[in-house]
Structure 1
Amino acid sequence: MLADILDLLADPNGEPLEFSEKGLHAHGRTYPIADAGYAIFLLEDTSEETSQGDDPAMLHAREAFLSRGHFAPFVEEVSAAVHDAIDEAGIPEEDTPVICEIGAGTGYYLAHNLDEVYGAIGIGIDISSAAAEHLASCHPRVGAVVADARQRLPLHDGVVDALTVIFSPHNAAECARVLAPTGQLIVLLPEPGHLKELRQPLGIRDVEPGGVAEFREQAAEAGLVFAAEPRTIEFSMRLDRESIKAQIGMSPSARDIPEDELAERAAQLPPAMTVSAKASLLRFRKS
């Protein structure tokens, strides 16, 4: 699938790339292609050891939790927003819409988005090579890339029609740069109160207040304005211990607390709990 998105990719200097069996090339530099089919664009000052990208255990937990449908309302709302963004872009029928997700993880959301938009191609970007391996096979129309979302994205200017950021690190200025003139940025950010029933008994970090306001400010500085009114998505989930374990295992808390200690705390929970989910859905376009 990388060959299908080659025209959209650029090196860190914004230069076009050439494809060969050995990798992607620009100005004498080669960006390797892993056996699993994803390209690696990490810069010299970035390493996975310091990037805090998801490791295989976290990705396994993420896939287990999402596949049980616990976050279905989030998935449905994001997919609907992407569908609306593509419709509103007025893309000619002969063109191919481009959907990109930053911090795409296992590709669960991205695959659902592509299923909602006939003929679209997807680009999954994540800093974790373990995640990129999942991304490369999550959907027949996805190309996977390892890159740091905090740095320049390995994409040309103005090539993405719908760009999603879901509970992931982001760079509003880069999001704005890669958006097509009629493209939209769809952002899902956790709100205080998200998973509140689990935080005290498990000792996991809370959602920092002000995250939505901070992103709105960053978006405005990047020349982005609202494409739709912000929405709060809030619902309850009935989680058993295995689902709770998977939820915590896919979060940054998996690094904060030793695995055996976290398991001991989880064992003290009831066999099943009602847990709150809460996030804000924001849609932006270029001003």
Structure 2
Amino acid sequence: MLNDIVDVLADPVDLTPLRGEDDFARLVSETGHSYDVAKQGYVTLASGKGLNHEGDSLEMINSRETFLSNGHFAPFVEAVSDRVADVVERTSGDRDPVILEAGAGTGYYLAHTLDLIEGSRGVGLDISVPAAKHLAKAHPRLGAVVADAWEQLPVRTGSVDVVTVVFAPRNPSEFARVLVDDGEAVILVADQGHLDELRDPLGILGVEDGKVERLVDQASQWLTPVCDPELISFPMQLGRGAIAAQVGMSPSARHLDADVLKQRLEDLPEQMEVTARAQLIRLRKA
């Protein structure tokens, strides 16, 4: 709910604090900017320039909901939640910890983390309005915000214990700004070998070499590793429907013709073992 996290949010224009007005029908900043809260419970916090990138479509969000709700990525969500719990045990003290997920999608990961950590509050940020509609109802302690993760985040400086990113865009300078002094960014990034069994038969995008190393290097001005990256890899048993949902929620959905993909899916076995493989990276302020 937005009223639970309004003390963390900031005006996207000038980062002044926001407050709820008219029974939280809108959020208003100290400088007089006003942002309407949608009837579904989310708020769009974008500067006057608007949103500069394209978010996931309704079809992609529905595919994501279908795939994740069946637990295929459960080891990923458990790993992320466990590492977040490790951080907030150290950072939060007597106050309720705040967890921000950038590119939160349907809220699957963040809701699981909030369930694990008693009293925690979540800010789910995504550029996609269809995603925000899911986020707003994903968990009672989660507030949904439509914003661009590549731009200045509409979040107060030093207000967040942990920033999580799961297969989503990263903004290291802004992550460092919003984190408390001993907070961390917990980032899950696809590693080479992820979904490799599907690459050739479906023609989907692969994971480029050196992705983890580039991520750490590009963030080094603002964030530094807490420990070595942690490999998380496991097999999944996927039917054609699950495979279609996985492709439909990924960037490959924008690059493949629907009819071509349908034919390629029909040529697959009814059940396949597919490898999930990612690196979990923990970064703190440099």
Listed as ranges, the gaps of 5+ residues in structure 1 are: none
8 Å Cα contact 2:11-2:33 kept in structure 1: no
Moved more, 186-195 or 14-23: 14-23
Counterpart residue number, 1:85: 87
2: CA distance, partners of 1:150 / 1:269: 37
Work out the CA distance in 1 between the residues paired with 2:206 and 2:214.
17
CA contact (8 A) 2:7 2:19 kept: no
Letter in 1 for 2:203: G
Q: How does 1:46-65 map to 2 (within 5 A)?
A: 46-47=50-51, 51-65=53-67
Q: Does 2:267 correspond to 1:273?
A: no
Instruction: Name which of 25, 35, 55 aligns with 1:31.
Output: 35
- Could you say which residue in structure 2 is the equivalent of 1:151? 151
Deviation by residue 1:96-125 (Cα, 9 ceiling, x = unmatched): 110110000000000010011101011000
Residues 37-73 of structure 1, C-alpha deviations (whole Å, 9 max, x = no match): 11101334444xx623111111111111111111111
Letter in 2 for 1:105: G
Aligned pair count? 282
Determine the structure 2 residue equivalent to 1:261: 260
In structure 2, the residue matched to 1:208 is 208
Q: CA deviation at 1:28?
A: 3.3
Post-superposition CA distance 1:102-151 (Å, at most 9, x none): 00000000001001110101100000011011000000100010000000
For residues 203 and 70 of structure 1, the distance between their equivalents in structure 2, rounded to whole angstroms, comes to 21
Distance in 2 between residues matched to 1:277 and 1:131, nearest whole Å: 23
* Match of residue 72 from structure 1: 74
The equivalent residue for 1:194 is 194
Q: How far apart, in 2, do the equivalents of 1:102 and 1:51 lie?
A: 14
SS in 1 for 2:224: strand
| CA distances 1:197-251 after superposition (whole Å, capped 9, x unpaired) | 10111111111222211110122111x2222331111111111001100100100
Distance in 1 separating the partners of 2:111 and 2:32: 34
Calculate the TM-score normalised by the size of structure 2. 0.95
TM-score, normalised with respect to structure 1: 0.95
Paired with 2:60 and 2:47, the residues of 1 have a C-alpha distance of 24
Where 1:8 maps in the other structure, the secondary structure is coil
Q: In the alignment, what sits opposite 1:229?
A: 228
Q: Residue 18 of structure 1 aligns with which residue? A: 19
Runs (4+) of structure 1 exceeding 3 A deviation are 43-47
Q: Secondary structure at the match of 2:199?
A: helix
Alpha carbon RMSD of aligned pairs, Å? 1.3
| 1:1-28 residue CA offsets vs partner (Å, 9 max, x unmatched) | 2112111111121111232234222333
Give, in whole Å, the separation in 1 of the partners of 2:88 and 2:19.
29
Unaligned runs of 5+ in 2: none
| Closer, same or farther: CA 268–46 of 1 in aligned 2, 3 Å | farther
For 1:122-137, list aligned pairs within 5 A.
Answer: 122-137=122-137
